[in-house]
Amino acid sequence: MEYTLENDYLKVTVTTFGAQVKSVIRKCDGVEHMWKADKNVWGYHAPVLFPHCGKVTDGIIEAKGGKYKSAQHGFARLLEHAFVDQCGDTLVLELCANEKTRKVFPYDFRLVSTFTVEGSTLHHTLTVENLDESNLPFGIGYHPAFAIPFDDKHTFTDYALRFSEPESPLCVNCRPYGLLHGNLYYLGSNIREIPIDEKLFANDSHCMVNLRSRTLGIYEKDTGRAVVCDIADFPYTLIWSKPGQPQFVCIEPWHSLPSAENGSTRWEKKPAAAILAPGEEWSCTLSTDFVR
C-alpha cells in the first residue's frame, strides 16, 4: 500500500513495504527527489535499517540461546509495515514482532515510523518500543537515496555534497567485507564540499564519524537547489552510491555500526544504539529539507 502526504510545498508518497519514502516531489518545479528503485541498479528508495546497520559477524546473531541468520541492514526493510493512522500532515506505520521476525530476531518489539511534512521539510521519526521480557539491544539507521540530476539540464558532475561546517571527515573502514577491522582514513582536510564524480564511490561507501556539522546536503552548484539532511544528533553519517556515474546519492545517518570482522556473534556483545529495558522506548528523527 501507498499513502500520500501533501502541503503547499511537497507531495510525499510512502510505501508500507519497508516503511520507505518512495517519492518526494517539490511542487514549485515538479522535481522528483527520490531514487526510483530500479532493481537493475539498486532496488530500494529509502530503507529503514533495523535491528542493525550493515553486516553482523558471520551473518549470525546469537541471542536467547539460539542462532539466527541476519541479512545486511536487518529485516525491517524487507517486510510490510502496518498502517496505524493518518491525520493532516502526519502518517504513522508500525512493524511489530511476528512469526517472520522471530525467525531471525527473538525479541518482542514495536517499530513505529512517523512521517510529517512541515513546509519544505520531511520529518521521519523512528520509535523502538521494547515489548519483551528481556533487555532489547538494537541498532538503527536511515538509508534514503536521492536522485540526481534534478532535471535533464544537469549531469551528476553538477552536484556536490556540502557540510554546514568545515570538516576533516574521519571514516571507519569496512572494506572489503562490510565489517570493521580497525583501519581509519580521512576523506579530506578542512573541507566544506565533496564533489560528486565517478571516483567518489568506486570502492563503496564512506562512513564518517563524529562530524561537527548540523547538516549535510546534495547541492546543485549553479542554482543552489538542494536536498539537505539534519545529521546533528547522529554519531555516524555515511554517503554511498553504486560505482560509476551516480544516478542517486544516499545520505545515511546511523546510530550504530557494522560488527567487527573478528567480533562476537553474541547479540548482547555487539555495540548498540541503545539497550532498552522491558517497557522502555527510544526515538530518533531524520529531517530532510528540499531547498529552493
Instruction: Tell me how many domains the chain contains.
Output: 1
pLDDT the model gives residue 224 = 96
pLDDT the model gives residue 177 = 86
The strand pairing partners of 63, in sequence order, are 66
pLDDT the model gives residue 176 = 87
For cell 549470525, what's the residue? 60
For cell 518482542, what's the residue? 108
List helix spans (H) across 17-164: 99-102
The answer to whether the pTM exceeds 0.85 is yes
Q: For residues 232 and 191, give the distance between their C-alpha atoms in angstroms, rounded to a whole number.
A: 18
Structure confidence by residue, pLDDT tens digits, 135-174 = 999 999 999 999 999 999 999 999 999 999 999 999 999 9
Contacts of 41 (CB under 8 A, 6+ apart): 242, 247
- Specify the 3-state DSSP secondary structure of 70: coil
CATH number at residue 242: 2.70.98.10
Q: What angle do CA 137, 139, 22 make, to 5 degrees?
A: 140
From 111, 115, 113, 141, select the one nearest 129 (Cα to Cα).
111
pLDDT the model gives residue 86 = 98
pLDDT the model gives residue 88 = 93
Domain containing 224 equals 2-291
| DSSP state letters, 148-173 | S-SSTT--GGGEEEEEEEEE--EEE-
Intervals of the chain under pLDDT 50:
none
